[in-house]
Amino acid sequence: MTNINETYNDPKKLANDYVHEVYEEVKKRNAGESEFLQATREIFDSLRPVFAKNPHYIEDGILERLTEPDRIITFRVAWEDDQGKVHVNRGYRVQFNSELGPYKGGIRFHPSVNLSIMKFLAFEQIFKNSLTGQPIGAGKGGSDFDPKNKSEREIMRFVQSFMTELSKYLGPDLDVPAGDIGVGRREVGYMTGQYNRIHGGFEPGVFTGKDPNYGGSLGRKEATGYGTVYFAEEMLKTNDLHFKGSKVIVSGSGNVSTYAMEKAIELGATVIACSDSGGYIYDENGIDVETVKQIKEVEGERIKKYRKYHSTAKYVEGCEDIWSLSCDIALPCATQNELDEAAAVKLIENGLKAVAEGANMPCTQEAINLFKEHKILFAPAKAANAGGVAVSAMEMSQNSMRLSWTTEEVDERLHTVMKNIYASCLQAAEEYGHPGDLVVGANIAGFLKVANAMVSHGIR
């Protein structure tokens, strides 16, 4: 480990050596976990100026402790399909950090789920949750279960089996999951039901993203998408740009995408394309978000069906090419690493002005580097999509107080939270010598609060 006394008179070298050594160790300990290493690398690069200015964090081993989860729970999920055939999936919960509050972060059901993806998402959640200013720690969970083409009863049986094991590790002051890819209100409802069945009584405060009729917060469903657009609008405003009159591409057509589209349209933008994992729809005159809701939320169908309602729209097989269209603002809202260097090149050639990440880590590092090089405004996920978890924390407060805020109240609070996050990212970037760099600003602002809590709680 770095000899602090020897190198103290060169704080920059000390910081660089420290970050380098810890990253090498993280690489060794987490070999092959590419998404987790990608997420840690990105944070580490931003934190060098923090360690140069505050070497006491090095003495406290903050980075070493921050990159090792409090605990990881993995378990078997056996369930029976409608034909009586038994299936086995793997369940995960990564309880990464509880310095600021109970573990908080969604549950993802998708065949791609593995430990690396769970760890990257839980790690990102540390900084995101810190940025919201709410008293919440960080976690993430899920399973490699694929909810596509399953009956409602199969999904219910799977969720009940999943929750039977996971419920041992949850509680309103311990760990409070929510939804994510493949997990919406219905699945959160089944999880709540099974948790209550096991523990007895009715405990609303152990999940967020619930149906507002049964303890959920109004405005939670919309929060991540709306929040992304609120954050992006702040960033655009600072640079004399606006959603009004802009052409926007939104990838995905799930929870985050739908409400990002809705808010962007409300602010006067034209959303020209959206997608699912099968392909994308495109209409220069604007996508009708109510039709998207009808297809995805009511009918549970593929985005391809949009043409049945709007024959002037085009449907293109394969989702990647959505980034070859020309737009002013790109909102990647589907999944990790969906916008790579080649996509960034096309977007820039076609006149792109700004990107805001609605999904977690949707842009590869190479794409982000290109955006920076070409002075494209860039809002990183951990700041831009923090609105969902911020309203989840509001749901926890409402559950504790046994009351419900109105949609308008929640939306106003969300808007304030997003403006505050933007301001703190800008301020941290400025203070640490990277004015206007929201990636560095978000990483540093998120880090400082957690690091200070770790110092104050002692080495553990």
Write down the least CB distance from residue 180 to ligand NDP, Å: 5
- For the chain, the maximum distance between any two Cα atoms, rounded to a whole number of angstroms, is 71
Write down the least CB distance from residue 429 to ligand NDP, Å: 22
Write down the least CB distance from residue 325 to ligand NDP, Å: 14
Neighbour tally for 113: CB within 10 Å: 26
Residue with Cβ nearer ligand NDP (49 or 179): 179
Residue with Cβ nearer ligand NDP (37 or 390): 390
Six token digits for residue 43: 């944070």
Write down the least CB distance from residue 367 to ligand NDP, Å: 14
- The identity of residue 312, as a single letter, is T
Q: Which residues are known to be catalytic?
A: 140
* Beta bridge pairs of residue 88: 78
Residue with Cβ nearer ligand NDP (229 or 454): 229
Write down the least CB distance from residue 18 to ligand NDP, Å: 30
Expressed in percent and rounded to 5, the helix, strand and coil fractions of the chain are 55, 15, 30
d(CA 399, CA 397): 5
d(CA 445, CA 386): 13
**C-alpha dihedral sign at 427, 428, 432, 434:** negative
Six token digits for residue 433: 């010598």
Residue with Cβ nearer ligand NDP (17 or 283): 283
Phi, psi of 137 (to 5 degrees): -85, -160
* Beta bridge pairs of residue 183: 180
Query: How many CA atoms within 13 Å lie on the side-chain side of 274?
Result: 31
Residue nearest to ligand NDP (CB): 254
Footprint of ligand NDP (CB under 6 A):
179-182, 224, 251-257, 275-278, 319, 333-335, 338, 358-360, 385, 388
Residue with Cβ nearer ligand NDP (199 or 304): 304
d(CA 76, CA 79): 10
